[in-house]
Structure 1
């Protein structure tokens, strides 16, 4: 999955006047901004699970950060978040999808997932992802048709088949 194209809406959604989503390749220079985004989005959930320290949040993100697989999300000229996607051959994994708090509840997450699901469908590949146990994101992915495949005290694994 390349996410190199700009799309204003995924297939199956009605035409709207929403601004297009632009996926911009991330660079090493983006790491601080992306760590700050992760902390802004995930801190409450990680604290609830007893798994948050600023150092740990940074260390875990930096260890998995891959600029070549990460795209910044631009919406109408402003930074709206990031997504990291890995093609494992038999399936695609969404490793990170973080949106700025200002974008939460705006429908942007559904639009982005629609684009990702359209691309996975075109490749004939399922999508895997992991969500923190108890996170509101679980309902979001279930609404999109993701099915729980595995659970532990911290994470829930999901799978979507085109």
Structure 2
């Protein structure tokens, strides 16, 4: 896994991140018959909030982003995109683990939605997310803080 760091996003980051989103999501959106090259960028711009977004950097270069937006009953994990050449490198897992550790310390529930059929769903499931609901496009998932999740019980005879 590459050395990585998080830095706060700024308004200047929105266009490069919109481009990254278009690249990362294209295959899944095409599979669902929902890819539109203008819409994929516009949706990112419309939902971008620098105050709750971090840029993922590897060796000082921006390679992705992730947002954790506070809501009434949970934080929403959004805009988690990583450059394709880093998929499977462990970088996304490390970033997710760092954010979830922060939420566990604060006893914060985390919610997200992922496109149906996306390989990212397995990453989220490995980190304790479970499905709350699904629609024809999205799977809505939730993760309760580690202290609140049931633990496996070992019974010794």
Q: TM-score, normalised by structure 1?
A: 0.85
**Which one has a bigger Cα radius of gyration?**
2
| 1:115-141 deviation line (CA, Å, top 9, x unaligned) | 011000011111101000011111111
Structure 1 residue 133 and structure 2 residue 94: aligned? no
| 1:44-85 deviation line (CA, Å, top 9, x unaligned) | 111111111111111111111111111111122121200011
Question: Which segment is superposed worse, 26-35 or 113-122?
Answer: 26-35
Structure 2, unmatched stretches of 5+, are 146-157
The equivalent residue for 1:82 is: 65
CA RMSD of aligned residues (A): 1.3
The equivalent residue for 1:115 is: 98
| 1:75-122 deviation line (CA, Å, top 9, x unaligned) | 221212000111114311101110001110000111011101100001
1:159 to 134, 142, 151: 142
Structure 1, unmatched stretches of 5+, are 1-16
Once residues 2 and 58 of structure 2 are traced to their aligned partners in structure 1, the CA distance between those partners, rounded to angstroms, is 9
Once residues 117 and 130 of structure 1 are traced to their aligned partners in structure 2, the CA distance between those partners, rounded to angstroms, is 16
Counterparts of 1:1-162 in structure 2, within 5 Å, are: 19=3, 21-162=4-145
Once residues 98 and 59 of structure 1 are traced to their aligned partners in structure 2, the CA distance between those partners, rounded to angstroms, is 16
Contact 2:26 2:35 (C-alpha < 8 Å) held by counterparts: yes
